Amino acid sequence: MKTPLAHGLTAGLSGEETSLTDPLTGLGNTHRFFDKVNRLIADRADDPAPFAIGVLDLDGFKPINDLFGRTAGDEILQQVAMRLRAAMDEHSTVTRIGADEFAFLYPMVFSEEAAADRAKMLIEILSAPYDVGHRTARLSASAGCSLFYTEEETTDLLLSKAETALYQAKRSGRGVVVVYTREMEEAAKRVTRIEQALRRAVAAGDVEAHFQPIVDLETRRTVGFETLARWTDHDLGSISPATFIPIAEERGIIGPLSQLLLRKATEAARDWPEQLFLSFNLSPSQLVDHNTGLQILAILERTGFNPRRLEIEITETGLMSDPASAEKIVEDLRRMGIRISLDDFGTGQSSLGRLRDFKFDKLKIDRAFVSSILNDRPSEHIIRAILAMCEGLGMDVVAEGIEEEAQAERLIQFGCTGGQGYLFGRPKDAEATLGFLRSRPGAQLRKVAG
């Protein structure tokens, strides 16, 4: 149903004009945007002078829409449209191409710097308060821009580049403008190559599980291992997990990848002494997938690994995306006998109340605090406070990233019982880990039939 303002904006338009017009705001729609850019590309075919396009997305519009209601949200979009239209010069065009996404065309902007300046101006205009009945609301916006340089570039390609730049802008924070560059194009191509190779590797089972020791700091006895992903591609070479794990998360590969790693890890850990546990990381997306618990259980049944020897690590970031879903999945895992550990504590945005609500078995102190424990008093105080809190909550603690003996000694003085880091061992593959365990005095490994 159109609001009165929307009806006034579209009244009197011909059928063709209506098909090119957004009924809510009166701005042009996606069809009009493509028509304008296609015409401009055709006009400049013989002399391809540059021009700029951009995509602008409202940050946090959905929460405002939920808070104030759909009608108020429509009124805000109309106010946004009026501000953007007023900011256009006689040559430029702004259109609405999505729910809270707008595209603009600047035929007389010839450089990346000028495009960024224009987009920043639009963001500034949109930052002023909006009237919503007797209340006011504030919005920010992010923008991605791209420039036309050669006749080979199409409207689809320009828009795709601008969307890529917008994605980069939104990852960098609110109110950010990013202009698509050749460097970004090369980076995007590399990401695509890695994604395609990773899909093939997961399907073929070519990503490997490596294991890093977790020790009792007092005795230096190994008590468990954390599973870490390692991947070497035939053409791309060794790819860091810091590179391929985020790509797997963003491109929807993380589920199959995680299941492959858990299967390989539990198959390897069956041969270890019974008292050793296996620690395994879940990604944020797995904490919103209600099938996660069933998938883990199916793998444990298939490999014959005791759930009580498994420890699942989750991060504060993973908890914050959907706390209700995460809580349900955590409860499912605990019912199986699986222990739950909170990883990278102190670097996320979770409140201390989460420690009470989720009833973690263990907390892992982030390496950022451990690395500076010897020369930074605030880090020392933070670690002391975490240890005191965990003692009160009955939680085990492991400090990550220990690389020096002096760091280990300081942590022992503070009362930390568990440690992990290069001081105690680097990640090794399944065969090397088994060799390490066999070399320990009194080692008793399971004999697996087969």
Mind listing the pLDDT tens digit for each residue in 52-65? 999 999 987 877 77
| Burial of 219 (C-beta count, 10 Å sphere; 0-12/13-18/19+) | exposed
| Rounded mean pLDDT, 283-310 | 94
CATH number, position 98: 3.30.70.270
| Rounded mean pLDDT, 35-40 | 96
Measured CA to CA in angstroms, residue 366 lies from 130, 247, 371, 372, 416 at distances of 41, 23, 9, 11, 13
pLDDT in tens, 217-276: 999 999 999 999 999 999 999 999 999 999 999 899 999 999 999 999 999 999 899 999
3-state secondary structure of 25: coil
Residue 22, domain extent:
4-180
Q: Which of 420, 364, 428 is nearest to 211 (CA)?
A: 428
pLDDT in tens, 100-111: 999 999 999 999
Give the percent of the chain with pLDDT over 70: 92
Count CB neighbours of 1 within 10 A.
Answer: 7
Token output for 447:
């004999």
| Burial of 226 (C-beta count, 10 Å sphere; 0-12/13-18/19+) | buried
Compute, in degrees rounded to 10, the torsion defined by CA atoms 294, 299, 300, 301.
Answer: 90
Same domain, 152 and 233: no
**pLDDT higher than 60, residue 9:** no
Using an 8 Å Cβ cutoff, are 119 and 180 in contact? no
Is 192 within the bounds of a domain? no
Whole-angstrom distance, CA of residue 49 vs CA of residue 67: 46
Map tokens 């209600």 to a residue: 290
Which of these three, 131, 165, 180, is where a domain ends? 180
Alpha helices (runs of H) in 60-216, residue ranges in sequence order: 61-68, 70-87, 112-126, 155-172, 182-204
Q: In which band, very low, low, confident or very high, does the pLDDT at 442 lie, cut at 50, 70 and 90?
A: low
| Rounded mean pLDDT, 179-183 | 88
Note if 274 is an active site residue: no
Q: In which band, very low, low, confident or very high, does the pLDDT at 5 lie, cut at 50, 70 and 90?
A: very low
Which amino acid belongs to residue 257? L
What is the pTM for the complete model shown? Answer: 0.73
Is 354 within the bounds of a domain? yes
Instruction: Pick the catalytic residue from 75, 208, 311, 400.
Output: 400
Is 60 within the bounds of a domain? yes
Same domain, 268 and 143: no
pLDDT of res. 345: 79
Whole-angstrom distance, CA of residue 364 vs CA of residue 342: 6
Same domain, 168 and 211: no
Token output for 155:
């409207």
**pLDDT higher than 50, residue 7:** no
Find the range with the poorest average confidence among 87-96, 112-121, 300-309, 325-334: 325-334
pLDDT in tens, 187-200: 888 999 999 999 99
pLDDT of res. 15: 56
Same domain, 253 and 219: yes
pLDDT of res. 69: 82
Same domain, 168 and 219: no
**Please, what is the average pLDDT of the chain?**
90
Indicate the number of domains in the chain. 2
pLDDT of res. 323: 81
Find the range with the poorest average confidence among 6-10, 211-215, 399-403: 6-10
pLDDT of res. 2: 42
Which residues partner with 137 through β-bridges? 130
Strands 177-179 and 208-216: unpaired
Same domain, 238 and 353: yes
Whole-angstrom distance, CA of residue 435 vs CA of residue 439: 6
Q: What are the b/e assignments for 269-298, b being 16+ CB within 10 Å?
A: bbebeeebbbbbbbbbbbbbbeebbeebbe
**pLDDT higher than 80, residue 46:** yes
**What single-letter DSSP state applies at residue 83?**
H
Is 397 within the bounds of a domain? yes
Count CB neighbours of 201 within 10 A.
Answer: 23
**pLDDT higher than 80, residue 166:** yes
